[in-house]
Chains A and B, each alone.
Chain A
């Protein structure tokens, strides 16, 4: 293909970029997808063949960075606030896989929708001091059709009506839920006794054969691992469809270092392929789907100057409540999470009173996952060495007995929480590393302090001999590791207060369109993936008629 053959360049092949490729190629566009990571997902010559590189291998995936990014090659830096100096940490900062498919193959794929009020936080709940709470420029009803389409395209298993807090749906899930884990049945029962409403987690994992891919066989190497049998649909389903049109080209091991902009229009990108040579490619549109942290890095590397780029960075404040159940829960059998509850997503009279006591107008928690750790090397490294080691491993307090909850606590956006370019740390290509400046707001800390003890009580109801609560990032390990990222190129109608317009286009360079969770004005107490895929479906669908630019 010659340079001008592409209607769009897509940066990043994760759930956002793959969805963009799918929607645009279906509308007749020709696209090239640049992905800095390697391809372990799909045969680009024959996209009906999915790769055989994934495996149940704790060393390869959990320790040796098989899916990247290798923190030595691509370090990120961190500080809590500017007064800390240039940085306090170099290495991993909330890394999500960097490979064809992005974080999709890596994740275990809990893909709930957001609720109606998540789109209008300012009008529904009101401002909070120190935070830039905002309404989304669109409502749940605008996104509902795209949510339904996203669930169908990537294949989501779930049970409509099982979650009383869910927003209305236009139809059922494409697949019934997969089998519940034993531990989750125990904590679900206890949660119900506490008056909560656990339900089968909507999951982008096949519970039955779907889309020419097999049903999950519960191998247990799920979150952080690629699926050896491709029972996970996100984003392999979209990428495969895009490649099968013959109008998508995928270029792995290709790092986009700059979007070229002239007179308020992007003309293409500068990139470095596997041979390390700098080259350029031109196209009518540039779709940026590099993920919530790399997207603002690329915009900054491109010299774009909107003062909001990189700001309002949101993760999730994760509250872990863990305890030892007397029975063996065998958390290594099954997917990573099969049950969740949403009771802490919705403020009630008691939580509002607790918020006022903490000096806040309100707070929200987040979706609570029922889960436990499952892998032996992880357990062994935390066990003592010496004579006690073998007994500890035989008793297996962690792998076999530890079970509990993880609340994905909603983070409020704060302009001071941000991604920018580190002044001196570089990646292997000599390009400035991204730097995170982040400290949680009192809002999420108060919510964690309020809901943590309730979850501890519930775990004791479930039979735990002991239970403890741990909120991350905390004082001792301030570096965020939630794997959920949002907010760094916020969308809105006012160009002074948002980077992108309501269709994901940069206000300043409208043929650059962002297609990931960087767009989110607020982060909700749910994983971002289904919502970013739905947004990409909506925004790319709107873009599709304007192929010429």
Chain B
């Protein structure tokens, strides 16, 4: 079911996200499918058009057509930028106008290796210890986890708007918007 991650890596990312944004009385990263957001970013170019920018103007959640689901086509430079960012420059001269760029895929593959193949089965305290020991990678995954928890569901995470619901955020509201009373009142 994963797009880019191997099954083993998928389990590790899922376990990492469960530590970063845990499940308590409210759903956490696991229920919101945050791992699928991250997998979808790393594998954005497995889709046509690539899953970089969701469409517009409306998602259909408060009216209008569900256009977010139709992702934008990338221009040639957009594709170059996002392939370089995700896949890395890989020694290709056309991607190295300012020198080599490490891609997210490589950063994840190496980071997940460091966390250990047994990460998903380790105890919570041990998982936290390993995450703290690799602060830079953990920061990066945490940033993506936040995007996957609180971003638009069309990117693969925030399943059924669970991330928005528990914080009382309505998400995108076009074309309904907010009434003047909702803006100016308590």
Residues of A within 8 A of B (CB): 38, 52-60, 63-66, 70, 72-73, 75, 90, 179-182, 185, 216-221, 228-229, 253, 274, 276, 327-328, 330, 332-334, 376-377, 380-381, 385-387, 389-390, 393-394, 396, 399-400, 425-428, 430
Instruction: Chain A residues near B150: list those with CB within 8 A.
Output: 58, 376-377, 380
On whether the beta carbons of B178 and A57 are closer than 8 Å, the reply is no
Contact of B174 among A228, A328, A387 (CB under 8 A): A228
Residues of B within 8 A of A (CB): 19-22, 24, 26, 28, 52-59, 67-68, 72, 75-78, 80-81, 84-85, 97-98, 101, 128, 138, 142-143, 145-147, 149-152, 155, 163-164, 166-169, 171-180, 182-186
On whether the beta carbons of B97 and A56 are closer than 8 Å, the reply is no
Residues A386 and B128 in contact in the complex (CB < 8 Å), given A59-B147, A396-B167: yes
A interface majority secondary structure: loop
Residues A219 and B177 in contact in the complex (CB < 8 Å), given A333-B182, A389-B22: yes
Instruction: Chain A residues near B20: list those with CB within 8 A.
Output: 385-386, 389
On whether the beta carbons of B80 and A73 are closer than 8 Å, the reply is yes
Contact of B55 among A55, A380, A394, A427 (CB under 8 A): A55
Residues A181 and B173 in contact in the complex (CB < 8 Å), given A59-B54, A390-B21: no
On whether the beta carbons of B138 and A394 are closer than 8 Å, the reply is no
Contact of B75 among A60, A179, A253, A330 (CB under 8 A): A253
Residues A64 and B52 in contact in the complex (CB < 8 Å), given A179-B180, A380-B149: yes
Instruction: Chain B residues near A328: list those with CB within 8 A.
Output: 186
CB closest residue in chain A, given B128: A386
CB distance from A236 to the nearest CB of B (A): 14
Contact of A57 among B22, B56, B164, B167 (CB under 8 A): B56
On whether the beta carbons of A182 and B138 are closer than 8 Å, the reply is no
Contact of B146 among A64, A228, A377, A430 (CB under 8 A): A377
**Assembly CA distance A394 to B163 (angstroms):** 11
**Assembly CA distance A221 to B22 (angstroms):** 28
Residues A221 and B172 in contact in the complex (CB < 8 Å), given A55-B57, A229-B57, A274-B76: yes
Residues A220 and B178 in contact in the complex (CB < 8 Å), given A55-B68, A390-B21: yes
CB closest residue in chain B, given A216: B177
Instruction: Chain B residues near A64: list those with CB within 8 A.
Output: 52-53
Instruction: Chain B residues near A376: list those with CB within 8 A.
Output: 150, 163-164, 167, 169
On whether the beta carbons of B77 and A428 are closer than 8 Å, the reply is yes
Residues A386 and B19 in contact in the complex (CB < 8 Å), given A58-B150, A428-B97: yes
**Assembly CA distance A114 to B182 (angstroms):** 32
CB distance from A76 to the nearest CB of B (A): 12
Q: Which 4 residue pairs spanning A and B have beta carbons closest together?
A: A217-B177, A56-B172, A55-B56, A228-B57
**Assembly CA distance A181 to B184 (angstroms):** 5
On whether the beta carbons of B98 and A57 are closer than 8 Å, the reply is no
On whether the beta carbons of A182 and B183 are closer than 8 Å, the reply is yes
Residues A75 and B98 in contact in the complex (CB < 8 Å), given A219-B178, A221-B172: yes
On whether the beta carbons of A390 and B22 are closer than 8 Å, the reply is yes
**Assembly CA distance A393 to B55 (angstroms):** 27
